[in-house]
Amino acid sequence: MKFFDIFPTFTEAPYSYIVVPIILICSIIGFYNKSFFHALVLHPYEIARGKRVHTLLTSALVHRNWRHLLFNCMVIFGLGYDTFGNLKQESGITIASLVTPLLFIMMIILPNLFQYLQEKGNFIHTSIGASNLTFGLFGFSFLYFPLQPTHSFIIPFIKNSAQYWLAVLLLLFFLLKIPKSKINKRLHLLAYLTGSLLAIIVRPQSFLEIQTVFKIFL
């Protein structure tokens, strides 16, 4: 069995093969080189004072531990492949090649901008990891083709991607209520909503399809 019998080729998932190794390499360096790690960490307090603006993007390149890193990399690889393929299917390879990296950047930066606005007066708040890209890709993938049939063993009434999107959204809101957690649950929710909105902007037809789903669902 060959590698590409299991995994997509580079031409099928170019940004998965570019972005994931960059995140892996930077994160591994960050595990052992604290100066490198701290240079990439998002610190809203310093950004508000004109410093470390680059960390709105670079904070996605470092992680706190292997579990955090590997989960994000697996999701980004799979959903990055899915995103590029969907855009290619809908609009052609040129549009997919141009839009996919822009989406990746926006999914990282926009949730971090929300964090900056909320925490710019908080000296101790910092943030790292590619979870904003991970959850942004979840939201985008669910709503880009909201009528896509899908099933859940846990929630049997889910029949399509739009209903799955709603179930995940409700779960993220529920998790916000869990106190004393080191997980940045608010960022996950913001990123999920950012990716969802980007899906509708890129493919406006999705909005009409979502309306159809929830008229039937409700």
> How would residue 106 be classed by pLDDT, with cut points 50, 70 and 90?
very high
Are residues 165 and 196 in contact, defined by beta-carbon separation less than 8 angstroms? Answer: yes
Q: By the 8 A CB rule, do 146 and 161 touch?
A: yes
Q: What is the largest CA-CA distance in the chain?
A: 55
Instruction: Check whether 181 has a pLDDT greater than 80.
Output: no
pLDDT at 217 over 60: no
If one compares 11 and 6, the residue with the highest pLDDT of the two is 11
In the predicted model, what is the mean pLDDT of residues 173-181? 81
Alpha helices in 33-184 (DSSP H): 34-40, 44-47, 55-58, 66-91, 93-119, 131-144, 161-176
Burial 90-125 (b: 16+ CB within 10 A, else e): eeeeeebeebbeebbebbbbbbbbbbbeebbeeeeb
Burial class (CB within 10 angstroms; exposed 0-12, middle 13-18, buried 19+) of 154: exposed
Residue 199 near residue 143 (C-beta atoms within 8 A): yes
Which residues are CB-neighbours of 217 under 8 A, at least 6 positions away? 162, 163, 166
Q: 64-83 in b/e burial notation, b at 16+ Cβ within 10 A? A: eeeebbeebbebbbbbbbbb
- Average pLDDT, rounded, for the chain: 91
For residue 133, is pLDDT > 80?
yes
Distance between CA atoms of residues 118 and 112, nearest Å: 10
| pLDDT tens, residue by residue, 17-75 | 999 999 999 999 999 999 999 999 999 999 999 999 999 999 999 999 999 999 999 99
High-pLDDT (> 70) share of the chain, %: 94
Pairwise CA distance, residues 198 & 210, whole Å = 14
Give the position of tokens 């591994």. Answer: 28
Q: Which residue has the higher pLDDT, 149 or 203?
A: 203
pLDDT value, residue 218: 47
What is the predicted pLDDT for the residue at 4?
54
With a cut of 70, say whether residue 187 has pLDDT above it.
Answer: yes
